[in-house]
Amino acid sequence: MVIFHFMFDQMLLFCIPLLVVALAGLFSERSGVVNIALEGIMIFGAFIGILLMYFLQTYEILSGQALLLVCILAAAIAGGLFSLFHAVASVSFGADQTISGTALNLLAPAIGVFVAKLIFNGTDSISFKNEFIISRVPVLTDIPFIGELLFTNFYLTTFLGIFILIGTWFFFYKTKFGLRMRACGEFPQAADAAGINVGKMRYLGVIISGVLAGVGGIIYVIPVTTSFDSQVAGYGFLALAVLIFGNWKPWRIATASVFFAICKTISTTYVIVPVLLNSGISPTYYKLLPYVATLILLAFTSKNSAAPKACGEPYDKSKR
């Protein structure tokens, strides 16, 4: 039970940021803009959030869960603003969306390292204290089985990720605004003819994507390190794979996130599971498991891909 509890906690730590960032990509691509800049936006959002956290902790202005929420908000705003570069290039200038996204992926870590070195006398990482784990919640922790799994030694961000998943599903399938955004990614000419401002909807899609990717960045960083060096271990790219495997649908994205998180958990915790440790399989194969699983699944599922039809195509009003 102890091993299972530990592995479940690890799985959540991998799953939640992956889920949030993949949903971030969903907003952009459902509106018609390919967003391969998720990695860069994650890094920039996390950088601003962790930098703010450093100063608030150093000067003892805030602490605990209030500090975490303020820094998540800062990461969200930073991610939204950073994604504006992608929106302007893709929507207003009709630039190649892949090139624009690649530029942001290269720019974000460079900014993070440069600014950190300026502030911290040549050190390219930002240290912070992880004071955000919640050991138990009265009443909820005492619920048999579920209380032990979900309400013991957990992060508030776990429930934030679940809330974002439900909110995303509700937005796309239960609101007129979400339906309009989906129309812009499928048939922008028809949406325009119906009076929908395609450019405005795509701007909003990219900005919401940036907000969520920024949140995903800081959610990823906090549980795994106390020294952020403007890297997120390729989670933004893995989130793109999850988005494709999830067929651009919220609940399938959630399923894909859980699958990849389980693979990642096995690759990092196999040493504490006697069956896996004594199986005779080389540790190298365990390390490769998440990436090999990604390649295999994408190879088998790409044929049935249901990507938004106009995703990646700059909207030209004259083609109506």
Contact 31, 181 (CB under 8 A): yes
pLDDT attached to residue 153: 87
What does the block give as tokens for 85? 């570069």
Residue 238: which of 218, 219, 255, 261 has the closest Cα?
261
Per residue in 145-198, pLDDT (tens digit) is 888 888 888 999 999 999 999 999 999 999 999 999 999 999 999 999 989 999
User: What average pLDDT score do residues 287-299 get?
Assistant: 80
Which pTM was predicted?
A: 0.93
Contact 177, 160 (CB under 8 A): no
Per residue in 16-26, pLDDT (tens digit) is 999 999 999 99
User: What average pLDDT score do residues 205-234 get?
Assistant: 94
pLDDT greater than 90 at residue 277 = no
Three-class SS of 250-303: HHHHHHHHHHHHHHHHHHHHHHHCHHHHCCCCCHHHHHHHHHHHHHHHHHHHHH
Give residue 308's region: left, alpha or beta (phi > 0; psi -120 to 50): beta
Under DSSP, the state recorded for 126 is E
User: What average pLDDT score do residues 210-237 get?
Assistant: 93
Q: How far apart are CA 111 and CA 223, in angstroms?
A: 23
Contact 90, 206 (CB under 8 A): yes
Least reliable range by pLDDT among 63-67, 69-73, 109-113, 279-283: 279-283
pLDDT attached to residue 42: 96
Please calculate the CA angle 293-302-320 and round it to the nearest 5 degrees. Answer: 145
Cα distances (Å, whole numbers) of residue 28 to 106, 178, 182, 206: 19, 12, 10, 5
Three-class SS of 87-111: HHHHHHCCCCHHHHHHHHHHHHHHH
| DSSP bridge pairs for 136 | 152
Per residue in 89-98, pLDDT (tens digit) is 999 998 889 9
User: Residue 3: which pLDDT band, with cuts at 50, 70 and 90?
Assistant: confident
pLDDT attached to residue 319: 66
What does the block give as tokens for 105? 């992926």
Percent of the chain predicted with pLDDT > 70: 98
Q: What's the distance, Cα to Cα, between the start and end of the chain in Å?
A: 61
